[in-house]
Amino acid sequence: KQEVTQIPAALSVPEGENLVLNCSFTDSAIYNLQWFRQDPGKGLTSLLLIQSSQREQTSGRLNASLDKSSGRSTLYIAASQPGDSATYLCAVTQGGSEKLVFGKGTKLTVNP
């Protein structure tokens, strides 16, 4: 059974800091990995999708990497801003299914 873990559960940083969020999964036979952002009480916004054949994806100040063999992904946020404050969720799918298996998320607070 696939399990996804995100560390840390919460993170508070000053504005302008570069930071890394971690995601690990127990079964390396994944099809892809998605990072999402969730604002309080809201739906999920897709940030980056990494297919199993890829090592990283970049969008603006965000960079996500994937190491399937070790069952790990990281989300790097450069020059953090207060508007980046949200919960960041990592999720994986496995071949033959669109079912996303999520971690519990990392709650990020960027202080002005």
Partner 1 sequence: DAGVTQSPTHLIKTRGQHVTLRCSPISGHKSVSWYQQVLGQGPQFIFQYYEKEERGRGNFPDRFSARQFPNYSSELNVNALLLGDSALYLCASSFDPYEQYFGPGTRLTVT
Torsion sign over Cα 101, 35, 105, 4: positive
Q: Which tokens is 64 given?
A: 């996500």
Q: Which tokens is 40 given?
A: 């309080």
Report phi then psi at 60, rounded to 5: 60, -125
4 is a site residue for partner 1 (CB under 8 A): yes
62 is a site residue for partner 1 (CB under 8 A): no
58 is a site residue for partner 1 (CB under 8 A): no
Q: Which tokens is 49 given?
A: 């999708």
Classified as helix, coil or strand, 93 is strand
71 is a site residue for partner 1 (CB under 8 A): no
Whichever of 33 and 110 has its CB closer to partner 1, that residue is: 33
C-alpha 67/C-alpha 28 separation (Å) is: 9
Site for partner 1 in 15-54 (CB under 8 A): 31-32, 34, 36, 41-46, 49
Provide, rounded to whole angstroms, the least separation between the CB of residue 18 and partner 1.
25
User: Binding pattern to partner 1, positions 83-112, x when CB under 8 A?
Assistant: ------x-x-x---xxxxxxxxx-------
Q: Which tokens is 3 given?
A: 């399990």
Which residue ranges make up the site for partner 1 (CB under 8 A)?
4, 31-32, 34, 36, 41-46, 49, 89, 91, 93, 97-105
